[in-house]
Amino acid sequence: MSVNISEELLEYDVILASASPRRKELLSIMCESFRVIPADCNEVIPEDIAPELAPEYLSGVKCRCIASVYDLAVVIGCDTVVVCDGKVLGKPADAKDAAEMLRMLSGKTHDVITGVTLGTGCRYRSFSVDTKVTFRELSNDEIAAYVKSGEPMDKAGAYGIQGLGSLLVERIDGDFFNVVGLPVSRLAEEMHQFLQKVQSK
User: What are the backbone angles phi and psi of residue 198, rounded to the nearest 5°?
Assistant: -65, -40
Between β-strands 87-89 and 35-36, what pairing exists: parallel, antiparallel or unpaired?
A: unpaired
Residue 187 corresponds to which amino acid? L
| CA–CA dist 156, 142 (Å, integer) | 19
Between β-strands 87-89 and 74-84, what pairing exists: parallel, antiparallel or unpaired?
A: antiparallel
Task: Choose, from 48, 71, 79, 97, the residue flagged as catalytic.
Answer: 79
- Cα dihedral 33, 38, 42, 47 in deg (nearest 10): 60
| CA–CA dist 160, 155 (Å, integer) | 6
97 tagged catalytic: no
**Residues carrying an active site annotation:** 79
